Structure 1
């Protein structure tokens, strides 16, 4: 029964792994719900900020803020948002593939590309790639705050103000639903111009201090808030991907346990049959 003992040990090992993956699935589900709640809670503030920004911009078109300036692109940067840990399926791989594809596209067009990274996985990947990383935050943590990411955002915003960068792109995993997370790339700077109908009521605010100062502060805060919202959304995507991956691992462990139990029963039955045959043979010889 040496083979049977070996199979029993494998069954116990897989059962222990199954308990771990099931626990990780439940933890990821709880964290995903909390991340979704945070994501929903930040949207009204971001939408209000955008509405005020667009209204001031439309009411004072003569003011040209540096963050709204569109220039020919000679140098650009990509801000890559990844997770701190793995076991999340292809989440980080897809994000990094999109980022590297954008850098290669810029290189072919003669544009000098730089990288800023949020998250351990992205930082480790671009360190191995020896890419020009201008700023990074690793690890992000389970509850990243606006204050924690301001340093990285400030490096990029200051570079754009000083015309050391002409475009900044944002790469992250967009949360579609629990089963779908899509790696996307979006422009962070320059900021888009307001639409034609944002100031249709033809009224304006009373500003203290001047409208230009208010707009400057709001534009900077808008960039910081947008990056923070993307980080929270990427966190929700990470937990959803991990929950799905751990559920698949748990199901695979269950199927493997069933196969091992079947193999154990076959080995046990073969050993019993062999023992009976030996007893019968011995009795016949006597």
Structure 2
């Protein structure tokens, strides 16, 4: 049985860890409120923008380079994760989803390149040799111009013919307890198929001025920026929610460990007291003899 001092030191150490995890839970909770508010505000804009762009592209008579559908030989994945850990399996699920896509594409004979956003994605695929560009240390303070830089890089790579398809992989925020890894196709932009809008309840007839080609040239870059920024917002909110859950679980685990160590401490103290009493009784009996 360990000594009293050793057990007491362990209890103090676990107690300090519990204080740290509780503080991190509170910090994540405070940050989540702002991230979630920004996500909830931006999500309808991003979804409506995507719907309008698909509808607009469906009414175009000319050819737009970013709508060119090719035989897919090379695919580029924009992988969005957090910069920091301590958020459970949040980043691991995104990385696992990305690896599944890589394995799938390579099994089909396609080449894959990566644009990583967030330190965890860069660390996960650092040795793969597939990273073309990496954007780290931006997820805590990212702005629209970060998303613009990322989308411009992917767009230029698509226009140059280096890649035939661009997808973004991120964690879609469903609830405080669930963030689902998701992948969406950014390029080429695919118009709404006939009847698709009716099935989803979004069939709306728009009148465009000037013609769709001119509008597309003006707002297409902004559309790509919006979709990348939307993915980054979803990941930011999901990160804080996952960290809250992870730190809450860690705090509860520390409480359970402290209870077990306290019981062990009491047993060790009782054993020490019993030993001292046995020594006293033994000494008294020896004196009587």
Same fold (TM over 0.5): yes
Q: 1:188 to 1:205 in 2, by over 3 A?
A: closer
SS in 1 for 2:125: helix
Q: CA deviation at 1:233?
A: 0.3
Counterparts of 2:49 and 2:206 in 1: how far apart (Å)?
17
Partner in structure 2 of residue 238 of structure 1: 239
Q: CA deviation at 1:15?
A: 0.4
Counterparts of 2:162 and 2:278 in 1: how far apart (Å)?
86
Q: Which runs of 5+ in 2 are unaligned?
A: none
| Cα contact 2:2–2:268 (8 A) shared by 1 | no
| Cα contact 2:139–2:232 (8 A) shared by 1 | no
Counterparts of 1:181 and 1:203 in 2: how far apart (Å)?
34
Q: CA deviation at 1:168?
A: 1.1
Q: 1:202 to 1:246 in 2, by over 3 A?
A: closer
Structural mapping, 1:195-206, within 5 Å: 195-196=193-194, 204-206=207-209
| Cα contact 1:85–1:121 (8 A) shared by 2 | yes
Partner in structure 2 of residue 53 of structure 1: 53
Structural mapping, 1:252-267, within 5 Å: 252-267=253-268
| Cα contact 2:60–2:212 (8 A) shared by 1 | no
Counterparts of 2:204 and 2:14 in 1: how far apart (Å)?
66
Q: CA deviation at 1:44?
A: 3.6
Partner in structure 2 of residue 140 of structure 1: 138
Q: 1:100 to 1:251 in 2, by over 3 A?
A: same
SS in 2 for 1:205: coil
Q: Which runs of 5+ in 1 are unaligned?
A: none
Counterparts of 1:64 and 1:38 in 2: how far apart (Å)?
35
Aligned-pair RMSD on alpha carbons?
Answer: 2.1
Counterparts of 1:92 and 1:13 in 2: how far apart (Å)?
28
Q: Tell which deviates more after alignment, 48-57 or 194-203.
A: 194-203
Partner in structure 2 of residue 155 of structure 1: 153
Counterparts of 1:78 and 1:61 in 2: how far apart (Å)?
27
Structural mapping, 1:172-251, within 5 Å: 172-196=170-194, 204-207=207-210, 211-251=212-252
Structural mapping, 1:112-123, within 5 Å: 112-123=111-122
Q: CA deviation at 1:185?
A: 2.0
Q: 1:221 to 1:177 in 2, by over 3 A?
A: same
Structural mapping, 1:13-24, within 5 Å: 13-24=13-24
TM-score normalised to the size of structure 2? 0.91
Q: 1:57 to 1:43 in 2, by over 3 A?
A: same
SS in 2 for 1:213: helix
Partner in structure 1 of residue 164 of structure 2: 166
Partner in structure 1 of residue 83 of structure 2: 84
| Cα contact 1:115–1:131 (8 A) shared by 2 | no
